[in-house]
Structure 1
Amino acid sequence: MTAAQDLRIPSRGEQLAAYLYRPRDPGPSPCIVMAHGFCGTRDDGLPPYAEAFRDAGYVVVLFDYRHFGASTGRPRQLLDIRRQQQDYHSVVEWARRQDGIDPDRIVLWGSSFSGGHVLAVAADDPRIAAVISQAPFTDSIAALRQVPLRTAAALTVDGVRDQLEAWRGRPPRLAPAIGDPGDIAAMTSPGARPGYEAIVGGDSLWRNAFAARLMLRFPFYRPGRKASRLQMPLLVCVCDNDTTTPPGPTEKAAHRALRGELRRYPYDHFDIYSDPQVKTDQIDFLRRVLPEGAPRPA
């Protein structure tokens, strides 16, 4: 197979760094639009998924959000929920205009934080053909129950300070995305640091940091509630032992969707990235639910 093409996609005045994977079949083929979760980049554990989808006959666009990785956007490490959802929409609209891509067979794929994003994005775009949401963040209230009170308080204070400084035009106050138990960081479960570090690619531009102002908006983000608006097929892959994105709200989101399917795996949050069976299950789902002309097995 040919290597992925490294390209740039415009989004709200910035340039999104993306890898474009094309199968042998010239198309028009279904296209899977992918992005990472909390502070992740396109090089962190996702190329094996993109390659598996490409080998199964799908076009794949794997991109970095604005402010992260190889994409443009200042300040760096600004994790803005609305902007990240806008970036998904920008990539989808770009993909619909490309030769070799069927504009009516665009699939959204997300994992962890982006697993919630794809539910919200698909709810606003009924033309999306299918959605895959892996170990998704679906409810901030359930997630915050996993965060020690001391950590939540410290991050909130940092968030207020960061927002005040942002209004004054100052650089962002950064907080760690992952840490060990007892650290002040967004994710501090026992498996968070080793799990995240295990998927960071050798050439990754990943940084363990995000602008703390996110914590002023994070408690209100509950994308699982959008699942009831989805008319397209939805596959939710839930990790039964997940201590980062609790499985309870995720299961409810899958059941809210008109055409939702739930697959369970005996993992913690990051273990799912290393299981080839997960990729096989997702490809099987796509072959079942996409309209006529879905790719044949490679």
Structure 2
Amino acid sequence: MIVMAHGLAGVKEQRLDAFAERFQAAGYACLVFDYRHFGASSGEPRQLLDIKRQLEDWTAAVAYARTLDDVDADRVVVWGSSFGGGHAIITAARDCRIAAAIVQCPFTNGVASTLAIPPVTSVKLTLWALRDQLGALTGAAPVRVAAYGPPGSTALMSSPDAEPGVRAMTPDDVGVAKEVASRFALQIVRHFPGRHARRVSCPILFVICETDAVAPAGPTRRYAAQAPRGEVKLTTAGHFEIYVGEHFEQTVTDQLAFLAHHVPVTS
């Protein structure tokens, strides 16, 4: 069983289904979920991204997967992409029963990702986040900020490939909210999931985008080297290219090879 979830503001229809279909065709069952407050999951207010709650969602999803018929509770794999990749690292570090982990273009270092944001944008995001956090104390509606946008925009991701990349991985018939509660910007710089890699005892595959403008490759490579059973696959894809086209085909092929070696399909 492979438990799968997306990254920052992402939902399962944004190409996680494509990965799951390939895994399923190879004989693996998949449980793909949306975090609370997003997509098909419940939770108010909508579009509230909270790291602690999302990690709780991972724990709950793994626990639920282990209760399903025909699922070996000791052969559960966690698979996370982007911000969800960081969550998958932490989940694997906390749960010694996880059989293997796959993290692609993972968010591993809050400072590195914050420094990848233009300074003026960072200042604006901080001000919006403070306003939102103060409003939350009085029960005010969330102050939302764009999760992605063109360069120069006030968005959490504004690299040149962010807006076209998200559009390329989002089906035309799927309505996906673009904004998140801006208080999340206060959490990013203090979040270092890569530091947990040294405590991941299971095999873990890091798929690292060498030209990643959102989750810089340098820190992730250093963290991957600390994982006792870490493996690395480098790709020339950017942070968003990994979901589509030839980069998707190569990445899913590499991941299937990793799974076949460490968690082979059984009868």
TM-score under structure 1 normalisation? 0.87
Aligned residue in 2 for 1:57: 27
> Deviations along 1:123-148, whole A, 9 cap, x unmatched?
11111000000001000111111111
Shift of 1:100: 1.3
Secondary structure (helix, strand or coil) at the match of 1:102 reads coil
2:97 paired with 1:127: yes
Aligned residue in 2 for 1:269: 239
Give runs of ≥4 in structure 1 deviating > 2 Å. 201-205
> Deviations along 1:139-186, whole A, 9 cap, x unmatched?
011111111111001110111110111110111100001011111100
Secondary structure (helix, strand or coil) at the match of 2:172 reads coil
Residue 248 of structure 1: which of 218, 226, 248 is its match?
Answer: 218
**Greater fraction of residues in strand:** 1
Identity over aligned pairs, percent = 45
> Deviations along 1:81-103, whole A, 9 cap, x unmatched?
11111101101101101101111
> 1:210-221, aligned counterparts within 5 Å?
210-221=180-191
> Deviations along 1:190-217, whole A, 9 cap, x unmatched?
1110001110123434211111111121
2:126 paired with 1:153: no
2:258 paired with 1:285: yes
> 1:146-225, aligned counterparts within 5 Å?
146-225=116-195
Aligned residue in 2 for 1:28: none
Shift of 1:231: 0.4
> 1:10-21, aligned counterparts within 5 Å?
none
Shift of 1:296: 6.7
Secondary structure (helix, strand or coil) at the match of 2:213 reads coil
5+ long unaligned stretches in structure 2: none
2:48 paired with 1:78: yes
Secondary structure (helix, strand or coil) at the match of 1:186 reads strand
CA distance in 2, matches of 1:270, 1:144: 18
CA distance in 1, matches of 2:22, 2:135: 44
2:256 aligned partner, one-letter code:
I
CA distance in 2, matches of 1:166, 1:195: 32
CA distance in 2, matches of 1:46, 1:133: 13
Secondary structure (helix, strand or coil) at the match of 1:104 reads coil
CA distance in 2, matches of 1:34, 1:70: 14
Secondary structure (helix, strand or coil) at the match of 2:15 reads coil
2:214 aligned partner, one-letter code:
T
Secondary structure (helix, strand or coil) at the match of 2:189 reads helix
Residues 70 and 205 in structure 1, CA contact (< 8 A), matched pair in contact too: no
5+ long unaligned stretches in structure 1: 1-30
> 1:221-236, aligned counterparts within 5 Å?
221-236=191-206
Residues 130 and 289 in structure 1, CA contact (< 8 A), matched pair in contact too: yes
Residues 41 and 205 in structure 1, CA contact (< 8 A), matched pair in contact too: no
Secondary structure (helix, strand or coil) at the match of 2:185 reads helix
CA distance in 1, matches of 2:173, 2:47: 18
CA distance in 2, matches of 1:238, 1:229: 19
Residues 114 and 188 in structure 2, CA contact (< 8 A), matched pair in contact too: no
TM-score under structure 2 normalisation? 0.97
Shift of 1:223: 0.2
CA distance in 2, matches of 1:205, 1:73: 18
